[in-house]
Structure formats: C-alpha cells, structure tokens
Structure 1
Amino acid sequence: MTDTSRGISDSARPAGYAASTRPEVTRWTGWVVFAGIMIILLGAFQAIEGLVAIFDQGYYLVRPEGLVISIDYTAWGWGHLILGLAAVATGFGLLAGNTAARVVGVVVAVISAILNLAFLAAYPVWSTIIITLDVVVIYAIVVHGRELKA
C-alpha cells in the first residue's frame, strides 16, 4: 500500500514505522493561536474591569440597582477578577495544545459573554466588544481547536 500524502510505499518504510494519525494542520491553526491570545487578553481585560469595579465604584454609568442583576459592584468586580484569572490560565493552556483547556476555554468564554450581557447597562460599548470577542474565541476553539494539538 502507498501513503499518498507522503509518497512513501509501505515497503520503503523502516520497520516499526506507522503512518501518522494526526489531523492535518491547516491555516486554521492560526485561528486557535488567535483564540488563545485573545482569551489571555480578554482575561486581562476582565481582571482590570473587576479591579475597577472593586476599587472605583463611581466609574460605571449606572448604579448597581440599574443593572440587569441588582448586585453590588464589589461582587461584580470579584466575579470579573476571578473569571479574568481563569481566562488567562486557560489561554496559556490553549497555546500549549491542552485538550482540557479547550473545554475550559469554551466554558470561560460563555460565562464571560453572559456576565458581560448582565453588565451591559454599566458599560455598554465595552461589554459589547467583549461579547463579540467571546463569540469569535468560541468559534475558533470549537471548530479548529484540535489542530493546535498537532
């Protein structure tokens, strides 16, 4: 038999050589690297947003009662900070090709999108940008995440 992808016949292979079972790496690998870098960046943004909510509660446009979920900005800040730190760690795992990081990356991006949807009244433009980037990250991880492992 012939491995048409490499042009090497079975008889020409050294003993014990097996054809690679890795998926073919395509240009979409760049999207997964992009997703890993973006989730690190999004995590940093979430952490900064959390620190601002914790230390400067007058910064946001509405009072906590005007949010979708009426909760103190300090609690929102801790939520954003914890999510941001988890996102940064997940991003590094994605760049390393870790399968568990792919699953956690999708979960973190979904939680980030929902958290920012609930935070929309406080900072509408920023929350919209974060939600959009979360969707792009989810797409890249789900559709092409396996390619980075190779």
Structure 2
Amino acid sequence: MSPASTSTKVRAWTTLFAAVLLLVVGLFQFLQGLVAVVDGTDFFVATPRYLFRFDASTWGWIHIVLGIVAFVVGVLLLAGNTAGRFAAVVIAGFQAVVNFVWLPVYPIWGIIIIAIDVLIIWSVCTVRLDEV
C-alpha cells in the first residue's frame, strides 16, 4: 500500500467522521431547541442570576438555528466541499461556545454536544489542507 493511498483513506475517514458527527450534533441541537421552545419549564438547573439569562424560547431558537446550520454544513462536508471543512470548524466552535454558556441551564446536553464539537474540530483539522 502506497503512502498516497493511505493518506487518501485517512482523509476520507476523518471527513466522513466529521460529517456524520455534524449531522448528529445538528439533530441534537435542533431537538434541544425544540424542547426549549415547546416546553421551556423543564430544565435541570434554575439560574435566576445567570449573566446570559434569556427566556427558554430565545435559547430554543438559537439552538434550532444552530442545528439547521450544522446539518447543512454536515451535508456540505459529505459532498466533499472544501469550504465545508472551514465551515465545519467554525460552526463546531460556535456550537461549543453556545453550549458552554448553556451549561448551567442544561448541563448534560451541553457537555455531550461540546464533546462532539471537539471531535468534529479534531477530525476536520487532522488532515492537512494541501492533501484536500
């Protein structure tokens, strides 16, 4: 097996991994937002003095939009779009920040999505741009 074919397989695997994770995290974000919009009273922790306190509906719409964008970027990445690689890192980073701010409100989902976002960034950034 030549080094070029090994590099191609690694690139294909990491891109597919990132794309599937973006589709999954996009769905998670969308569902999390939907729960906040439909029934914003059932949260794990109540934070009356939290700096980034929005009503549940606002948080819900933020997560719904992020979920849709992440899903679209996942499809772009599956299609092999080079701009999709950059967009994947940007949206995963943005989702990680938003879910970090969301941690006091819903810590379990926040931690899960942050972990998936870190995996997305890792898998997209492990392949050098000159190999794409």
- TM-score bucket of the superposed structures, by smaller chain: 0.7 to 0.9
Residue of structure 2 in register with 1:40 after alignment: 23
Residue of structure 2 in register with 1:122 after alignment: 105
Structure 1 unaligned runs (5+)?
6-22
CA-CA distance at 1:67 after TM superposition? 4.2
Of 109, 113, 122, the residue aligned with 2:92 is 109
Residue of structure 2 in register with 1:83 after alignment: 66
Count how many residue pairs are aligned between Structure 1 and Structure 2: 130
Residues 29-60 of structure 1 deviation map (CA, whole Å, 9 limit, x = unaligned)? 21220110010110010000001111101121
How large is the Cα RMSD of the aligned pairs?
A: 2.5
Of 102, 110, 121, the residue aligned with 1:138 is 121
Residue of structure 2 in register with 1:60 after alignment: 43
CA distance in 1, matches of 2:48, 2:83: 37
Are the aligned partners of 2:47 and 2:104 in contact in 1 as well (CA < 8 Å)?
Answer: no
Which shifted more, 71-80 or 58-67?
Answer: 58-67
Between Structure 1 and Structure 2, which shows a larger proportion of helix residues?
Answer: 2
Larger Rg: 1
Q: Say if 2:107 is the partner of 1:99.
A: no
Change (3 A) 1:121 1:66: farther
Matched letter for residue 46 of structure 1: Q
**TM-score (norm: length of structure 1):** 0.77
Are the aligned partners of 1:24 and 1:147 in contact in 2 as well (CA < 8 Å)?
Answer: no
Query: SS where residue 127 of structure 2 aligns?
Result: helix
Displaced runs of 4 or more, over 4 A: 145-149
Query: SS where residue 27 of structure 1 aligns?
Result: helix
**TM-score (norm: length of structure 2):** 0.86
Q: Say if 2:56 is the partner of 1:73.
A: yes
CA distance in 2, matches of 1:148, 1:75: 41
Structure 2 unaligned runs (5+)?
none
| Seq. identity, % | 34
